[in-house]
Each structure stands twice: as C-alpha cells, then as structure tokens.
A and B are shown apart, each in its own frame.
Chain A
Amino acid sequence: MDKETDILIIDDDKDLVGSMRIVLESKGYHVRIAHESKAGYARIQEKTPDLIILDVMMTSDTEGFDLAFKLRNQPDYEAVPILMVTSFPKHMAEQGPEKFQHIMGEEWPVTKFLEKPIDPEQLLDSIASLLQGD
C-alpha cells in the first residue's frame, strides 16, 4: 500500500476515530485526525489530504455538511473525495428541521456515505474505491 496516502478523519467520537485509525494504519495509510470542523479545515489547509472521512453532527448538527459544502466550493479542495460517516441516515435529514432545509434540493456535497457502525472491511473497500476514483 502507498505509504504516502494521507487520510484526514474529522469526527468528534474519539473511540470511533481510534478504531478507524487502527484499521487504516494497518493498511499503511497515513492518518491525521481532527475532532471538529474548524480544526479539520486547518489540517486541510496545512496539507491537502488524499481523502477525508467526515462526520455529520459534531459541535453543531450540520457541521459536517457545512464543511463539505465549503470544500466543494473551493477549487483547491473540490476534488478531494469525502467519505461521510454518520449514524444519521439520509432520510432523517430529509425529515429534519428548518436548519436542514437549506441542504435539501441540492446535490449532496459528499462522494460517498457510510452508515455507522463502521465495519472495517467496508471502510477499507470504500476508501480503496474512492481513491481509485470510482
């Protein structure tokens, strides 16, 4: 596996991040971590990662989405694949309150969704396919 592949995980659940990190590092990925979107954005600015694993609800309910929209609107980062991990299935967002309505009707700003709990194999498969540009 390519040692240089740099993956940034942005998720506030430290235990979950820990287990993802173990799985990813076991396959030789270089993993960086942030526990909220501001810090995550700072990491991205330091160095553009090859892939971002992003949670939805962190400090605010839509933090993950907001960051994803922000990245999609920047030429430097728009091509970075985003794997959104959430225990917040898409249909909940569709029923969600007012604050989610600005998302509805627009393209989801993420490349792929993965529902929690994260199965190690599923995670690795998804990452591999995203990195190959599928």
Chain B
Amino acid sequence: MRMGHELIKEQLFFRKELIERVAWFIHLRWLFICAGFVGSIAGYLIWRPFPHIFFLTVFLCIAVYNIVFYRIYVKLSAKPSQDEKSYALFAHSQIVLDLLALGLIIHFTGGVYSPFLFFILFHIIIAGILLSPASCFVYGGIMPAALGMIVFLQHLGLLDRQPVLFSSASVVQASDTQTLFLLILDTAIILVTAALTTTIKISLRIKGRELLSVSKELTAQNKKLNSLYEMVKEMGIRTGLQELMDAATRQGTQIMGVKACAIKLLDDQRRKLRFVSTYGLSGDYIAKGTVDIEKSIINRKIIEGSVYAVGQIHEKDQFQYPEEMQKEGIASMVCLPLRVEKMIFGVFCVYSDTSHAFQESDIRFFSLMSDLTAIFIENLKSELNKTWFLQKTAHQLRSPLNAVHSMLSTMRKGYIGGIDPRQEETLMRCEKRIESLGSLIGDLLGLSIRRVGMDQKKMVPVNIGQVVERLLLMYRAQADEKNIHIIHSIPESLPAVLGDNILFDDLFTNLISNAVKYTQKGGSIQITIQPESSERIRFEIKDTGIGIPEEEVPHLFMEFFRGQNAKATTEEGTGLGLVIVKEILDQLNGTIQVKSTVGKGTCMTIRLPAVS
C-alpha cells in the first residue's frame, strides 16, 4: 500500500514539472514568434533578397498552432485529474510541429549551411527536459537524418539548393565532401547535446527523487512529532492515573493508525500483567484475564529487558492467548517496556490487524511514545504520593486530637460521672482549643497541597448558588445560636463557573464562617449572587459585624494575620482563612474586594468568570 502511494506522490511531483514546462514552452514560443516577425521585416529592410514572405508565412503558421496549443493547455489545466499521458502527447506534438517549421526554415535558408541550424539544439534540449531520454534521442536522430536526406536529394538534383541568407552567391558553392563534413559535424553536435541534456536531466531527476523522498520522510516525521506533542500535551493535563493511561492508549492508536493499544502493568510479584487501559480492544478480549509472563514469551522478553518484541499471530507459542487474539482480529503486535530508568513496571502493546505491520521506524516511534508515557505515569504517581503523604500526615496529626476531643466531650457531657459547671466550662474551652488546632491542621494541609500545585482538579461547570445554599444550611444552627439573621438572594438559574466542588466549598465556607464568627448577637448577614455580565458572576457577603480597621485591610491576605478586634472577639481563627480564599480565587481567575467600617460591618465582593 505504502509503496504504491509513494509512487503516485512521486509521479505527481514530476507531472507538475511537466505541466509547468509545457506552459513555459508556449509562452516562450510567443516571444520567438514576435522576434521572428520583427527579424523577417528587419532582414528584408537590410537585404532585399530576404525571403520575408516565406518567413512571415512560417511564423504566422507557428502563431496559429501556438494559439491552438494555448487553448488545449487551458482546457487541460482546467481538468481536475491531470493525466500525464495527455501532457506528454501535447509536448510531443509541439516539438514535432516546431521541428517541422524549423526544418522548413533551415531548408529555405541554405540547408546544412543555414544560420538557423543551431535552433535544432534548443529543441533537442527542450525534448530532453520534457520527455524521456529515448524521445530526445529519436528527435536528435530525426533532424540530422532529415538534413542528410535534403543533402542527398540535392546531390541527386531532385531538390533545389537554396541560397544562404545574406550571402552574395545565389547558392552555396561547396564540394560534396565539405557538405558531408558539415553534416557529420552537425549530427555529432546534435547527438552530443542530446546526450548531455539527458544525462543532466537524469541526474537531476535522481536528485529530485532523493529530495522528494527526504521531504516525504521529513513530512511524515513532522506529522508524527506533532501528534506526539499533542499526546504529551494531553497527558500533561491529566490528573488521574487512569485518565492519563487512557489518553496514552487512545492517542497511540490514533497517531499510528493501528488497530489498538494497551497498557498492562506488572503486579507486585512481577509475574502477572494486568490490563489497565486499552483502546480498540473488545471487552471480551480484555476479560480473558491477566497475562502470565511465564506463559507469554513476547511479554516476558520485555520484562526481562528487551527493547521491544514483535509477534505475529501464527507464531502461536509466543502468546498465552493465541485463539483469543485470532478471534479479536489481531494479526501482529509490538510490545515495549514502560520503564523509568532501569525499572520496568509495565508493557505498552500495539496491535495491528495486518501481519508484519510494523517497520523499524514505527517501532522506534512507539518506543519514544512508551518512554514518554512511562515518564508521565511515574511523575503523576509521585505527585499523587506527595499529596497522599501530606494527607496522611494530616490524618496522623488529627487522630490523637480527635481521640482527646472525643474523650473530653464524653467527660463533659457526664458519661463518665457528674461534673460541676466550672469543670464543664474548662472542658468546653479545652475542646474549643483542640478544634482550632484541628482547623489549623486542615488549613495548613489545604494550603501546602495548593502551593505545591498538587491539587490540579477536574474543572467542571458548577452552579455556585447551589453550593452556597448547601453551606448555608450547615451554618444555620450556628447563626441561630447567635440570633443572626441570614438573608440571601440567589437566582434559581445562574451561569455556571468552571471549578471544582471542593474548591468552592473551601472558598465559601471561609467567607460564610468569617461572617458568622465576627457578627455579634442579633446582627445580620446578607448574601447576594448576581450575574454581572455574560462573563462574570458576583457574590457578595455583607455583615453587620465588628468590621476591619482600614489600616489592617492590606494585611488581610497574609498568613496568620488576624485583626486586633478579631482576636479580641474570638480565640477561634487560624489566620489562614482569607489566604486560602485568595489562593482559590487565583486558581479560579476570580477577584475579591473588601469594604469595611469598624463597628458597622464588612462587605466582601467576589467576582468569578462565568461559562456560557
């Protein structure tokens, strides 16, 4: 298939050259005709015996057939499928007619002594460029033969000798030997020209062919590299391992135009390979189960360190499941290691429905692809592990706190025995301090995960109105306790905001809890969500709380900063809430604006980009 395709591409390339030259030939002829007309008249003016009528008639004939050629050319180039044969025929007919016209001119201007003899060379060169070497030599042979024939007929007296242009003698007075010598010399010049032209043309064509194949190779490589770049880009944005591997198998299948791709990972004992991601394989095929590397030679080779392994379905002993593969329509496959440095952790497999489908260059490319996939998998794994480490650290820190808290509340609530009000109060304070330590751990963890950029989330369109309503339900009891009235105005339908539910939870939790925390008993909180334009949504939370001193507003988004009056109001508060808010807003491309008057209240306005 590939060979045939390349041949067609090559033909296309040379056909294009032929078509261009034919057009160039027609244009050149117009110049020649013009020069001919002018030359005939000039010749007549200079030298009265000049056969201008004959010349003008010949050039007129040339002009007529050139018009015909031009029309044929226009017609041919309008055809969608330009076929090389008709162009070659076209080129032949032009050369034949030109040579005929030239023959006439040569004959009537002195035969072998004609000054126009050299024009034969131009035609030989043109034939050599446009047509096959054989055609060039045929024309190169016909012309001297025709000349020879004229000389022979003149020798026999069957044809009149014609006067040479601008010569005082009416006919050339030369001996037959002289004429023969000239004829042989002309023939030699013509044939040497034909030989040189065709040799140069052949070598040019070889160079052209080489260039074409290099350019084809480069185009193909470029296409592959571009696809690889797309693949890398897609793998780069994946935040889940499964998604990442699915992207790799899908892209691998599409880029290389194969039947299917699969990623199989080694189990802990390094004895079995489990399909973790496939593209193009049926569920039945995958359901055959894990691959035992003892039973599958092709896979074992990879695990044992081969750079790649190619298998054809008829080599049944290579595979653990040859029947299933046959049923699936797999004819050949390549396996490549998924490895980072020397550690092989899986196999990247490429399946084809034709046998011997993989060439050396394909395999090199697959190898690059599997190496990149392996690096991405390992990288993501290590990122996930870092996040996991932080989360586990937080868990370990929280566990003793939770136990202490549970024990304290069990004691405070009298399950262990009666306690007096002062003891209860003290225990209550202990619980509160432990709770704030718990939130500090939570906030620190959230921040560190965000700061190291490990929480790339799936951004999905979210209705922030629903998030806020849900959170308000949770804060209702706390607000009721302080007799705070919460008014909210949230339109039923809102444009969505691109983000992640956890981010929005953290964002609005911090804002609402601040408002509840710093609003005194009997106060009110007003929450409004409004689309500001088709591109932006505004969330506003306005309280009648303690407010923020003006000089402290610039410090609000600094770690561990807490306003003087805030500290005086409550012990609770980590000084990280607004830092988290700011970082989340940065992540969501949002902004925040703070307006506050001490003793009157605070209004925080958030603007988020909406998705249409």
- Interface residues of chain A, those whose CB is within 8 Å of chain B, are 13, 15-16, 18-20, 22-23, 26, 57, 61, 87-88, 91-92, 94-98, 101, 116-121
Contacts and interface: CB of A to CB of B under 8 A. Distances in A.
Which of B398, B401, B410 has the largest number of chain A CB atoms within 10 A?
B410
B384 A88 contact: no
A88 B441 CA distance: 13
Contact of A57 (B384, B395, B401, B404): B395
A19 B381 CA distance: 38
A57 B388 CA distance: 13
Given A16-B403, A116-B398, A22 B388 contact: no
A15 B403 contact: yes
B402 A117 contact: yes
A117 B391 contact: no
Given A95-B455, A120-B415, A121-B413, A20 B406 contact: yes
Contacts of A101: 240-242
Contacts of B395: 57, 87-88, 92
A99 to B, nearest CB: 8
A72 to B, nearest CB: 23
Given A116-B406, A117-B402, A95 B413 contact: no
A116 B396 CA distance: 12
Interface string B378-404: 000100110110011001001101111
Given A87-B398, A116-B402, A19 B410 contact: yes
Given A97-B388, A98-B241, A120 B401 contact: no
B415 A26 contact: yes
A116 B401 CA distance: 9
B312 interface: no
A19 B402 CA distance: 11
Given A16-B402, A87-B402, A116-B402, A98 B407 contact: no
B398 A22 contact: no
A92 B406 CA distance: 22
Main secondary structure of the interface of B (DSSP, over half): helix
Contacts of A116: 398-399, 402, 405-406
B438 to A, nearest CB: 8
Contacts of A117: 401-403, 405-406, 409, 434, 438
Interface string B497-526: 000001000000000000000000000000
B384 A97 contact: yes
Given A13-B403, A23-B415, A120 B391 contact: no
B402 A22 contact: no
Contacts of A121: 413
Given A18-B407, A87-B402, A98 B381 contact: yes
Interface string B566-596: 0000000000000000000000000000000
B587 to A, nearest CB: 15
Nearest to A56: B395
Closest 7 CB pairs between A and B?
A: A117-B405, A116-B402, A15-B403, A19-B410, A117-B402, A97-B384, A97-B388
B78 interface: no
Given A98-B381, A116-B406, A119-B409, 12 more contacts: A13-B403, A15-B404, A16-B402, A18-B407, A88-B391, A95-B391, A95-B502, A96-B391, A97-B387, A98-B384, A101-B242, A120-B413
B392 A91 contact: no
A101 B277 CA distance: 14
Interface residues of B, number: 29
A101 B406 CA distance: 31
B416 interface: yes
Nearest to A57: B395
20 contacts: A13-B399, A16-B406, A18-B407, A19-B403, A19-B406, A57-B392, A92-B395, A95-B387, A95-B455, A96-B388, A97-B385, A98-B241, A116-B402, A116-B406, A117-B402, A117-B405, A117-B438, A120-B413, A120-B415, A121-B413
A118 B398 CA distance: 12
A45 B407 CA distance: 30
Nearest to B383: A97
A32 to B, nearest CB: 19
Which of A57, A101, A120 has the largest number of chain B CB atoms within 10 A?
A120
Contact of A87 (B381, B399, B410): B399
A110 B388 CA distance: 23
Contact of B410 (A91, A92, A120): A120
A120 B409 contact: yes
A15 B409 CA distance: 13
A16 B241 CA distance: 35
Contacts of A118: 402, 406, 409
B534 to A, nearest CB: 31
A92 B396 CA distance: 14
Which of B403, B416, B438 has the largest number of chain A CB atoms within 10 A?
B403
B346 to A, nearest CB: 13
Nearest to B382: A97
A28 B395 CA distance: 31
Contacts of B387: 95-97
A61 B406 contact: no
Contacts of B502: 91, 94-95
Nearest to A16: B403
Interface string B413-441: 10110000000000000000010001000
Contacts of B402: 13, 16, 87, 116-118
Contacts of A95: 387, 391, 455, 502
B465 to A, nearest CB: 21
Nearest to A117: B405
Nearest to B397: A87
